[in-house]
């Protein structure tokens, strides 16, 4: 049994007087214990909404979540709020993009870490703080004893993200969802945080869902990668497979449009034309069709199905990039 | 790339220091933020100079100081033979036509209540170039076409466009005055990856057509490598390395550049699995109280007990135009000095700018 099995998850936002907007459209993927799975896509593709839906963190009103989120066989979407609260932070936890806005500015860092241990493991404050110090030490925060009594504004961005990781890992969860954990950080700090995440995941056997727009981050970290476009998974493949032979024209275009540090200079970038605002609704065809170079008539007749490929992945495309065409 | 000789702009020992004020009645200056501290560089006509560094290294301040959007504290800025810092009032305003800027966030740098036409005409009017209506109109259409927007965009407002299109408006606004130098501060970092490539290609096309000179400021090394002819790497207010783009990426010589390049993720698992990262310890020190000597010595894995802590290295030519500010650049390149562990020094965002908060008494010591 998979650790996490997301089946046909859809999130529809509905505001009075407006047309409903489908942010996540029948997304399915699964995560095995100890595995790292990537959700990749550009802004508006539904990657963050997917993670919030899994965690049960979407607002109560104005949206409709359907499908199943099976965590070790239990459907998280059907749990009572109290039961979900028991699991959140203990079995599944999350790291957000901006550490400054996800930490409470008026509570010392030590207390924010200790809080999790008190809530879920029944420790008293003194014991919890002692463990918090060890946790801060484990995520590489220098002089952890003093950091305990400091406030988020007193430490740097990288250190804040480390503190957030300490909070997320405090109860040794079996699943960690990281939503753009390094986007707000500088590259050298990003490298520190990614190395730390990789090491902690290896040590504790925690499964990791990595949500990012940066293909470079995925390349170094994830076992399986799901590429999202317009709320649907358009391609799923093992890491090496995806980067060597991206089959979906969107993935292929994305890989070819990023300037790379190790590619020869002076080449023109192959831009994907148009922008996300050109998308057509999935009901009318492939959302990517207006921007796609490989478009065929079938693309405008209805949504292409997600079909398994020979190499063990899945692909949603009528006319994929041929397997011989390697990226670059 | 059009290669012409002679520098279009030259900076000599430019410094931008911001005073830190304190006190209720008297504006006491209690210290300075040394945002840019002695940078010399020159950009040839038709060249693209890329300035990279992490947040807080002073790269944006340098770009703004160069256009005198912030007043430099010291140094010379020579643009096409005249010292920009000596210009006053009307003469300075006139010279601004030739130096334009593109900003990072197109939404906040475009007035939401001005139509595209009004945004573009504003600059022309300020420089007295909007006299003839038909001529102005032709110029606007031409500029829009050059940046890949339809002429119908003129009557629209910024919110009606997507991020990539807005950035094109920002470029059009700079371009309409027919400048010689364009300073682009993070021109693509607010855009999605698929859109970044469009804007980068556009910038290159415009340069080829019009012989523009660019100063591109960015934190993304891959972007800078792609677009720039010469790259300068900044750390804490100073240039630490400068070389042609190819040389720099083939053989980075400054320890900081090495660490920076090894930290950039490459979208290729084969490369990612093999590469060795130089992980820097700790954070960027505060620019209010920069370390003595070489500014990087507190985090440098190659730092030596002699010289590094007490003598600030000059940016010197090491091999064929490859300039490096490191005392031991040759030794490191030849492998005579091995990297070592670095103790993490804690950096506080408030360092030096105010009283350090006393540790709270909330926490019992175990």
**DSSP states of B153-210 as a string?**
GGG--GGGS-HHHHHHHHHHHHHTT--SEEEEESSSTTS-HHHHHHHHHHHHHHHHHH
- B48 in reach of chain A (CB within 8 A): no
pLDDT value at position B289? 87
pLDDT value at position A260? 85
pLDDT value at position B354? 39
Query: In this model, does residue B334 exceed pLDDT 90?
Result: no
Q: Which of B204, B272, B350 sits opposite A154 (nearest CB)?
A: B350
pTM of the model: 0.86
**CB distance A142–B222 less than 8 Å?**
no
Question: Following DSSP, what letter does each residue of B48-115 receive, concatenated?
Answer: EEEEE--TTSSHHHHHHHHTTSS--SEEEEEETTEEGGG--HHHHHHHGGGEEEE-S-HHHHS-TTS-
**CB distance B277–A108 less than 8 Å?**
no
Average pLDDT, integer, range B188-193? 86
A residues 44..103 contacting B (CB < 8 A): none
**CB distance B264–A187 less than 8 Å?**
yes
- Confirm if B155 and B116 have CB atoms less than 8 A apart: yes
Q: How far apart are CA B289 and CA B292, in angstroms?
A: 9
Locus of tokens 């012409």: B4
**CB distance A215–B164 less than 8 Å?**
no
Q: How far apart are CA B222 and CA B264, in angstroms?
A: 8
Tell me the sheet residues that pair with A208. A36, A176
Number of A:B CB contacts under 8 A?
177
Average pLDDT, integer, range B308-312? 91
- Confirm if A43 and A228 have CB atoms less than 8 A apart: no
Express the helix, strand and coil content of chain B in percent, nearest 5 each: 35, 20, 45
Write the pLDDT tens digit of every residue in B93-125.
888 999 999 988 888 889 999 999 999 999 999
Burial group, residue B339, by CB count within 10 angstroms (0-12, 13-18, 19+)? middle
Cα A12–A13–A19 angle (5° rounding)?
A: 100
**CB distance B272–A220 less than 8 Å?**
yes
- For the beta sheet containing A4-13, the strands, ordered from the edge strand earlier in sequence to the opposite edge, are A21-31, A4-13, A63-71, A74-75
B363 pLDDT band, cuts 50/70/90, is very low
Residue A105 to chain B, least CA–CA distance (Å):
14
pLDDT value at position A119? 92
B192 pLDDT band, cuts 50/70/90, is confident
Taking the C-alpha atoms of B55, B59, B60 and B65 in order, what is their torsion angle to the nearest 10 degrees?
Answer: 150
Reading chain A (328 residues) residue by residue, the pLDDT tens digits are 789 999 999 999 988 888 889 999 999 999 999 899 999 998 889 999 999 999 999 998 889 999 999 999 999 999 999 999 999 989 999 998 888 888 999 999 999 999 999 999 999 999 999 999 999 988 888 889 989 999 999 888 888 999 999 999 899 899 999 999 988 888 888 888 898 888 888 888 899 999 999 888 999 889 999 999 999 999 999 999 999 889 999 999 998 888 888 777 767 888 888 888 788 889 899 999 999 989 999 999 888 999 999 888 999 999 998 876 655 5
- A108 in reach of chain B (CB within 8 A): yes
B residues 24..43 contacting A (CB < 8 A): none
B residues 246..265 contacting A (CB < 8 A): 246, 249, 259-265
Taking the C-alpha atoms of B283, B286, B289 and B294 in order, what is their torsion angle to the nearest 10 degrees?
Answer: 50
pLDDT value at position A264? 72
Q: How far apart are CA B285 and CA B343, in angstroms?
A: 14
Q: How far apart are CA B256 and CA B342, in angstroms?
A: 13
Residue A266 to chain B, least CA–CA distance (Å):
7
B280 pLDDT band, cuts 50/70/90, is confident
Burial group, residue A20, by CB count within 10 angstroms (0-12, 13-18, 19+)? exposed
pLDDT value at position B282? 78
- B219 in reach of chain A (CB within 8 A): yes
Write the pLDDT tens digit of every residue in B133-181.
899 999 999 999 999 999 899 999 999 988 889 999 999 999 999 999 9
Average pLDDT, integer, range B209-226? 92
Q: How far apart are CA A157 and CA A159, in angstroms?
A: 5
A residues 141..170 contacting B (CB < 8 A): 142-143, 145-146, 148-151, 153-159
Tokens at residue A130, please? 């002692």
Residue A118 to chain B, least CA–CA distance (Å):
15
Q: Does the complex come out with an ipTM higher than 0.85?
A: no
- Residues of chain B neighbouring A159 (CB-CB closer than 8 A): 283
Question: What rounded mean pLDDT belongs to chain B?
Answer: 87
Determine how β-strand B181-185 pairs with β-strand B99-102: parallel
């Amino acid at each position: 049994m998979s650790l996490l099995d997301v089946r046909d998850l859809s999130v529809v936002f509905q505001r009075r007087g407006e047309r409903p907007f489908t942010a996540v459209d029948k997304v399915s993927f699964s995560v095995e214990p100890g595995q790292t799975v990537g959700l990749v896509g550009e802004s508006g593709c539904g990657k963050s909404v997917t993670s919030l839906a899994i965690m049960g963190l979407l607002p109560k009103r104005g949206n409709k979540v359907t499908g199943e989120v099976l965590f070790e066989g239990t459907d998280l979407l059907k749990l009572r709020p109290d039961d979900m609260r028991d699991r959140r932070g203990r079995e599944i936890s999350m790291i957000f993009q901006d550490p400054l806005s996800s930490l409470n500015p008026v509570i010392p860092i030590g207390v924010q870490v200790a809080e999790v241990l008190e809530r879920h493991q029944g420790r008293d404050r003194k014991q919890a703080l002692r463990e918090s110090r060890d946790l801060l030490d484990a995520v590489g925060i220098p002089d952890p004893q003093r950091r305990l009594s400091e406030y988020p504004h007193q430490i740097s961005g990288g250190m804040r993200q480390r503190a957030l990781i300490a909070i997320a890992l405090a109860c040794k969860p079996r699943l960690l969802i990281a939503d753009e954990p390094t986007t707000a950080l500088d590259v050298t700090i990003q490298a520190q945080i990614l190395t730390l995440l990789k090491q902690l995941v290896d040590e504790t056997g925690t499964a990791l869902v990595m949500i990012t727009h940066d293909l470079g981050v995925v390349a170094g970290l994830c076992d399986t990668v799901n590429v999202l476009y317009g709320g649907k998974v358009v391609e799923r493949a093992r890491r090496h497979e995806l980067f060597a032979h991206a089959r979906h024209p969107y993935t292929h275009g994305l890989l070819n449009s990023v300037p790379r540090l190790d590619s020869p200079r002076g080449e023109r970038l192959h831009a994907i034309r148009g922008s996300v605002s050109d998308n057509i609704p999935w009901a009318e065809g492939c959302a990517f069709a207006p921007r796609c170079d490989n478009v065929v008539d079938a693309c405008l007749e209805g949504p292409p199905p997600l079909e398994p490929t020979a190499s063990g992945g899945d692909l949603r495309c009528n006319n994929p990039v041929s397997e011989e065409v390697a990226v670059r | 790339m059009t290669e012409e000789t002679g520098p279009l702009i030259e900076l000599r020992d430019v410094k931008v220091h911001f005073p830190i004020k304190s006190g209720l009645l008297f504006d006491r200056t209690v210290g300075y933020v040394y945002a840019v501290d002695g940078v010399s560089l020159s950009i040839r006509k038709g060249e693209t100079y890329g300035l990279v560094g992490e947040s807080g290294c002073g790269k944006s301040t340098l770009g703004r100081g160069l256009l005198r959007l912030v007043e430099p504290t010291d140094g010379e800025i020579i643009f096409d033979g005249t010292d920009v810092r000596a210009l006053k009032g009307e003469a300075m305003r006139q010279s601004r036509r030739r130096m334009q800027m593109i900003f990072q966030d197109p939404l906040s740098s475009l007035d939401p209540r001005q139509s595209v036409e009004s945004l573009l005409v504003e600059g022309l009017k300020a420089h007295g170039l909007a006299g003839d209506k038909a001529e102005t109109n032709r110029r606007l259409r031409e500029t829009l076409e050059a940046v890949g927007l339809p002429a119908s965009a003129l009557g629209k407002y910024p919110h009606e466009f997507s991020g990539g299109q807005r950035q094109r408006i920002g470029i059009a606004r700079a371009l309409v005055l027919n400048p010689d130098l364009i300073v682009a501060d993070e021109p693509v970092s607010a855009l999605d990856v698929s859109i970044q490539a469009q804007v980068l290609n556009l910038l290159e096309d415009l340069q080829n057509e019009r012989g523009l000179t660019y100063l591109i400021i960015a934190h993304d090394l891959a972007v800078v490598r792609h677009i720039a002819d010469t790259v300068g790497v900044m750390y804490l207010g100073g240039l630490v390395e400068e070389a042609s783009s190819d040389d720099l990426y083939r053989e980075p010589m400054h320890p900081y550049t090495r660490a920076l390049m090894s930290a950039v993720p490459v979208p290729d698992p084969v490369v990612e699995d093999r590469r060795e990262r130089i992980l820097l310890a700790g954070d960027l020190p505060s620019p209010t109280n920069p370390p003595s000597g070489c500014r990087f010595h507190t985090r440098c894995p190659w730092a030596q007990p002699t010289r590094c802590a007490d003598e600030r290295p000059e940016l010197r030519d090491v091999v064929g135009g490859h300039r490096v500010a490191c005392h031991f650049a040759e030794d490191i390149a030849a492998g005579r000095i091995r990297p070592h562990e670095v103790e993490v020094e804690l950096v506080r965002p408030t360092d030096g700018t105010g009283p350090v908060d006393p540790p709270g008494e909330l926490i019992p010591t175990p």
